[in-house]
Each structure stands twice: as structure tokens, then as C-alpha cells.
Amino acid sequence: VQLQASGGGLVQSGGSLRLSCAASGFTLAHYAIGWFRQAPGKEREGVLCINPLDGNTYYSDAVKGRFTISRDNGKNAVYLQMNSLKPDDTAVYYCATDPLPSACDHDLDHDYDYWGQGTLVTVSS
């Protein structure tokens, strides 16, 4: 099981960025998928997740209305579309997955089984 996150970079405040998370060794559509981030000097926080059984997506209050997740089952990948970016969104972003669908819930704090390597997003003011 491998996850490869990509798409990070430098963007101005108000801009957009799309992160990708490509999976290999398993079918991503059957797994709970979460995106997390860790800003310098701060703890890791859940950003959003999608439940594979019912398709429900849960968002943190910090990103609700600005970030969305989408899937491409043919490419075995998921994407994190980030709009209206703010300097506070600066962090290393990680995708994670877990075979347990209930890993994705409104708490966004499940310790997922598998993690990608992270991709840095920097938002300048």
C-alpha cells in the first residue's frame, strides 16, 4: 500500500491549488480517505475526509466552503481542491487512508493506517 501526494507549492493569498493523492497496491475507492495538515510548530489537524460507504464528506471549520475533495477511481486517485487560500493554510499536507470506512467521521482525528509523504503548501500574504 502506497500513497503519493503531490501538487504543493507557493501561491498568493486568495489563490487556488489542487493537491493529488495517488494510490498503488490497493483500490482507493474502497477505503476511507483523509487529508491532514501540519503547520510549523503546530499539531497535525484533520482537514477533511470522505467515507467510502455513504460518500459523506466531513470538513473542518477552517476549510469548510473553500476546500473540496474529489475522486478519480479510474486513476485510483483523490484530489484536494483548495480555493480562497489564506496564509493560515500554510502547512505540509498529507493524504491518508484506512480500510475502515468509519475512520472518516466528523471528528477528523482518526489515526489512519496508511500515510503519504506530505506536500508543502505555502500561501503568501
- To which H or E segment does residue 119 belong? strand 119-124
pLDDT at 3 over 90: yes
Terminal-residue alpha carbon distance, the chain = 37
CA 1 to CA 92: how far, in whole Å?
A: 21
Instruction: Give me the torsion for CA of 80, 73, 96, 22, rounded to 10°.
Output: -80
Assess whether pLDDT exceeds 90 at residue 106. no
For residue 39, the model assigns a pLDDT of 96
pLDDT digits (tens, 9 = 90+) for 16-75: 999 999 999 988 888 999 999 999 999 999 999 999 888 899 999 999 999 999 989 899
- The CB density around residue 56, as the number of other CB atoms within 10 Å, is 13
